Structure 1
């Protein structure tokens, strides 16, 4: 299918489920039990026409349009969790699972808390959580061994 033009569609269907492969920038494979292929609409993409970038229109089935319309929550979650991942490395096999749990719970807490009276960014919220835990359970470091700049100058405490 890679050699086919953009917009090419192959599908298989049973009575309850439809599975489709659609060629966009890469091959997109999707299955659904509630959306079908019809109506096929045109979507705008950037492509090459005569070796120059130009806007082109590509056929797109409804199943792909519905996926693109409702996928935002999962992608935003992955984007935010990845943007400020816990950057410690451990030798234990379970540490990435633990670090992801911390990142995911912090992201979800920020989503719940962001509509409150404090209008913090995600970075500010994580900084505040870290400083509260340091104040409660430990002493914050005075110097960072990597850059030698005092923490108070780099991280404002609120």
Structure 2
């Protein structure tokens, strides 16, 4: 498939000319020249064409247009809606690698399709549907679970406070009198003493 896609990018088609490539997994790559190059990728349609009428400079002319493009033009309303769903919460990033763009696009399409099927199933069971954003939040939670942002550990002597207690993000309170930092201060080494003007009420440090 990679070789076929590269060939399509190098094609120089004439007006209304069609080039097709068929991969071993029954996937069609089709390029057609209209006002510009139109490239289609399909695992359903073949390289059949339909005769349509176009207005020429001084008369009507009949041209051969690929069926896959004709069908796309008929049903592109659904495609536009899918593009709207993808654009609403798009997570892909710019990349010079074409395969990376294709991977993230296919992942986004899979998420949108799963959202539509999820709501369709709810409607069939008489249940209330959910919003697109809520579905993505549920999906993320199901994939990665409830996690907490990792905290960077500073170097210094080990804290006497239990780990779970220190990860509770207790707010630091100001104090008038400076005291040794419980994390990084070490009086046993030259210049190791570090003083701060904040302390934790829970830890008393």
TM-score band by shorter chain is 0.3 to 0.5
Instruction: Report the TM-score when normalising by structure 2.
Output: 0.31
Q: Greater Rg, structure 1 or structure 2?
A: 2
Q: Which has the higher contact order (CA 8 A, sep 6+)?
A: 1
